[in-house]
Structure 1
């Protein structure tokens, strides 16, 4: 009886042609699983808490704490004409509006001298000097803190507009015996064009991150367009001393050093929202984003890790997803393509549910039909911005 022994060379050739294909598929699926798991963890266990957040009712008993609203202005004459009447009309018993006129040359000083008295809550401070050891806006805010008459400081910008007359009252209402910081929401006005759409999407998603992480006990930033904290806290931490030379960071870097798990509150009350005028050119927006993203290099290590996991898993999901798609098409692996489609469908479904729920709490600043488009746009954004912040830095103004 004879036994046919297969040729060893044929066996080796068969294994060598099969094994690499199987190995590549397993690696791609493993990486895709890791990245998507991180993404779903953030959406289901961190972000989703904003949908259930129940803020305290804005109220003040007895004598209310006084509030100093600080507005930095550098050549903002036209914006101040619109903003100051809105701020002066706020329905709160005890507050002042301090306009910090930082070397404006557009007639702001003359306007304030002539018209500030017509608003009972408005006063202004003219800043004529610039110092090399501290950036201009941080110096202006420091001057405002030193001259504030009241124990609560509420920051906004000249190109912002409160949504109603209860903005101050709503922000104060989120304070408590152990709360010293209130993080507010500041969306951008809706206008036509791709740039405006992306600015609103990016602002919405950034707000989700800093508000939900603060609610989870990891506060790391606020936005200077709508941010309140006690002046005492500012001086206890020596103001902006630790980062006085860094352009930007008057809001997020100070929050990095002063905000804690117990002393920070968030505000999702629609009466507290402050709308802002968006950039209208890509060059202005890129200049602004370069400044914002470069400040992130100075965040605390834990904050950088949490944000890095979120953005890294986002880009990783797309890079591996594209690689899996190409490999599935090349190897004619229909099962792999079906798995890829199912994974992305699950991820998009979770995004639609969670982002849609949060969007309803944040004044529907983004159309829910945009969520999948946002997902793709943020992948391009993260990749592009990573190259932008690594490129040669250019000098930009505090504005």
Structure 2
């Protein structure tokens, strides 16, 4: 039994080490260009914000958006059936803030989810050929956000730019979990994009050309899926040639995290439901990364427990077997690489998680992914059996 456990653990650890060294290290050590400021002549950009009852957030966000250091842009707010007087606020702000306009959406379409309906209207009504998406509860890191996100479009083949959107730091374990999961999600989608396999982005900070949107018929293939207006569109439209990533801190948007377990649970349920619609190859890659992450800890604990049992029963000879020593050493190497590489990325991503908390993040993510998988399996079985 111990030999089988060690062999399985060894294989899992080899995959993890390879992912860290040859995939995630791309993000950890990729040079970040120095921002050059807004160009004197640039293509026009429409910044799109979909808002549903976001009066207070809009009041704070819109002056920051209209103050971006960029020569040609507009801010288009889609007021999606708000009942908190957002339309009154927008009416008052339009004469005061340059480049601001809004469109009121009063109906909910039967054939498409509300946000996708609002975004589709925004794509049709946008003044400029490039759109930059963010949410009402996000804040740009600087007045160079817009210029920095547009900069990769200087390459003629680039049609989409994936941005970073860290969550703000709050006290409590829930916030730590959110920041840890957000960090590793960003590590995965950025690293995969740099490796030529882009599969998702976040609508809190995402830029693409309108022509790309209409060539792929917008959200047609998933218009009834609740969510996915960002990652499912990227999963469908992104190619190794047309995607760039923006890693400079000036181009980040800082987001507000959920503050209750119930709100966070609903958000994650929506995300997991969307993930089922990814391309098969992308689901396999993500399953390999997260599955080996979980197993690296789970098999390690099983091996440790078995070794303790051997010691207690005075069967200590196996402790000196080369396979046990090699596998344990590889786990230590994997642990150190995770701490170093993911910790370096976290530092680049606005210190989503402090370096000294990285071991806790490592273990927390393993437990989180294990429980999420168990829950999905349980839900699937319940649907299949009806109990």
When normalised by structure 1's length, the TM-score is 0.89
Question: In structure 2, what is the Cα distance between the partners aligned to 1:156 and 1:26?
Answer: 51
Matched, 1:331 2:318: no
Matched, 1:52 2:23: no
What SS does the corresponding residue of 2:212 show, helix, strand or coil? helix
Asked whether the equivalents of residues 46 and 76 of structure 2 are also in contact (C-alpha less than 8 Å), the reply is: yes
Question: In structure 2, what is the Cα distance between the partners aligned to 1:359 and 1:115?
Answer: 37
Asked whether the equivalents of residues 47 and 73 of structure 2 are also in contact (C-alpha less than 8 Å), the reply is: yes
Matched, 1:140 2:125: no
Kindly state the Cα deviation for residue 197 of structure 1 after the two structures are TM-superposed: 1.2
Asked whether the equivalents of residues 290 and 388 of structure 1 are also in contact (C-alpha less than 8 Å), the reply is: no
For residue 31 of structure 1, what is the aligned residue in structure 2? 8
Q: Which runs of 5+ in 2 are unaligned?
A: 381-387
Kindly state the Cα deviation for residue 335 of structure 1 after the two structures are TM-superposed: 3.3
For residue 341 of structure 2, what is the aligned residue in structure 1? 354
Question: In structure 1, what is the Cα distance between the partners aligned to 2:276 and 2:176?
Answer: 27
> Looking at CA atoms only, which structure, 1 or 2, has the larger radius of gyration?
1
Kindly state the Cα deviation for residue 55 of structure 1 after the two structures are TM-superposed: 4.6
Matched, 1:114 2:72: no
For residue 16 of structure 1, what is the aligned residue in structure 2? none
Query: Which residue, out of 283, 291, 306, partners 1:304?
Result: 283
Asked whether the equivalents of residues 40 and 71 of structure 2 are also in contact (C-alpha less than 8 Å), the reply is: no
Kindly state the Cα deviation for residue 355 of structure 1 after the two structures are TM-superposed: 1.4
CA RMSD of aligned residues (A): 1.6
Question: In structure 2, what is the Cα distance between the partners aligned to 1:113 and 1:253?
Answer: 33
When normalised by structure 2's length, the TM-score is 0.92
Kindly state the Cα deviation for residue 392 of structure 1 after the two structures are TM-superposed: 5.5
Query: Which residue, out of 201, 216, 227, partners 1:222?
Result: 201
For residue 203 of structure 1, what is the aligned residue in structure 2? 182
Kindly state the Cα deviation for residue 316 of structure 1 after the two structures are TM-superposed: 1.6
The 4+ residue runs of structure 1 with deviation greater than 4 A are 55-62, 336-341, 390-393
What SS does the corresponding residue of 1:239 show, helix, strand or coil? coil
Number of residue pairs matched? 370
What SS does the corresponding residue of 2:95 show, helix, strand or coil? helix
For residue 103 of structure 1, what is the aligned residue in structure 2? 81
Question: In structure 1, what is the Cα distance between the partners aligned to 2:232 and 2:218?
Answer: 11
For residue 231 of structure 1, what is the aligned residue in structure 2? 210
What SS does the corresponding residue of 2:78 show, helix, strand or coil? strand
Kindly state the Cα deviation for residue 132 of structure 1 after the two structures are TM-superposed: 2.1
Question: In structure 1, what is the Cα distance between the partners aligned to 2:147 and 2:30?
Answer: 19
Seen in structure 2, the aligned counterparts of structure 1 residues 105 and 388 have a Cα distance that, compared at 3 Å, is farther
Which aligned pairs between 1:1-399 and structure 2 lie closer than 5 A?
24-56=1-33, 58=35, 63-175=41-153, 176-332=155-311, 333=316, 334-335=319-320, 341-390=328-377
Seen in structure 2, the aligned counterparts of structure 1 residues 116 and 131 have a Cα distance that, compared at 3 Å, is same
Which piece of structure 1 moves more, 362-371 or 54-63?
54-63
Kindly state the Cα deviation for residue 130 of structure 1 after the two structures are TM-superposed: 0.5
Q: Which runs of 5+ in 1 are unaligned?
A: 1-23, 394-399
1:347-366 C-alpha deviation (Å, 9 max, x unpaired): 11111221122223222221
